[in-house]
Amino acid sequence: MKKTRVDRAFAALRKNGKKGFVAYLSAGDPCLDDTVDIVLRLEDAGVDVVELGLPFSDPLADGRVNQEAATRALEAGATFDGVMACVAQIRERSQIPMIFYAYMNPLLARGFDRSIQAAAQAGIDGFLLLDLPVEEAAPYRQALDRNGLNTIQLVTPTTPDNRIAKIARRANGFIYCVSREGVTGVQDRISEGAGALVDRIRSRSTLPVALGFGIGTPEQARDAARLADAVVVGSAIVNQFHNNPHAPEGRAAAAAFVGRMVKAVKEV
């Protein structure tokens, strides 16, 4: 498979001895036009990969912050076609790596192959499919492969070693390491078992490992970067862009917060 923007970004990070920063936001929150502006601001803040949540009405893996962001996006009129147009609009101005954080239901409802093809044509680089077990993933992964997209796989603290090995064999791009049990949301500190979980993954895969779930401060981001190849921050970023005014000065303040987190990661 041809290298994606995600593959090239992680190869460059590894070559330069730097850690990566993955930023999550819900596409369409507060609206799709604003999503374009936010992604461009995240790129200016130094973010390496953007993880776009595909709005869904029942996001089981998400905590309150990201659930509410998805609800706001849907209430603002975000649709599958609208999100694809948003990605295409971003691609007119940026080549930042982007993946979809998505649930299967909206993709299956539209037709999985059709959905993946539309995403690839819009300019997305891969999918993290939250509710697709690795045991059932083969036909869906083939559709991603056919369209040149990364299949990002999740590993959690409760994943047994033999299943980590199976996931590692089928993933590409990077492996998303969930730092703790439960749903997304900012926590007080990095889970004590996160480092051991990263090591378990690395013993079974040469792919970059990105550590996420619960990271909300520059200090936590720095701690996570010491353990993994990249850090994923979601709820804290969603909160910043939601709670600051939806105006240029508010967006600048939110982006500055992200910039401080990126700086902490890059200093490791």
Which residue is listed with tokens 């079974």?
Answer: 204
Contact yes or no for 35/79 (Cβ under 8 A): no
Can you say whether the dihedral through the CA atoms of 13, 96, 176, 111 is positive or negative? negative
Report the distance separating Cα 34 and Cα 28, nearest Å.
7
Angle (nearest 5°) at CA 39 between 251 and 67: 85
H or E element at residue 36: helix 32-44
Report the distance separating Cα 122 and Cα 91, nearest Å.
8
- Of the residues 43, 51, 125, 223, which is catalytic? 51
Measuring CA to CA, which residue among 123, 143, 215 is closest to residue 177?
A: 215
- Asked if 51 is an active-site residue, the reply is yes
Radius of gyration for the alpha carbons in the chain, expressed in angstroms and rounded = 17
- Of the residues 29, 62, 125, 229, which is catalytic? 62
Two tokens at 146?
Answer: 């056919």
Two tokens at 39?
Answer: 């992604």
H or E element at residue 100: strand 98-102
DSSP-derived 3-state class of residue 205: coil
Angle (nearest 5°) at CA 39 between 34 and 40: 100
Report the distance separating Cα 230 and Cα 134, nearest Å.
22
Which residue is listed with tokens 């089981």?
Answer: 60
Strand partners, 21: 231
Annotated active-site positions, please? Answer: 51, 62
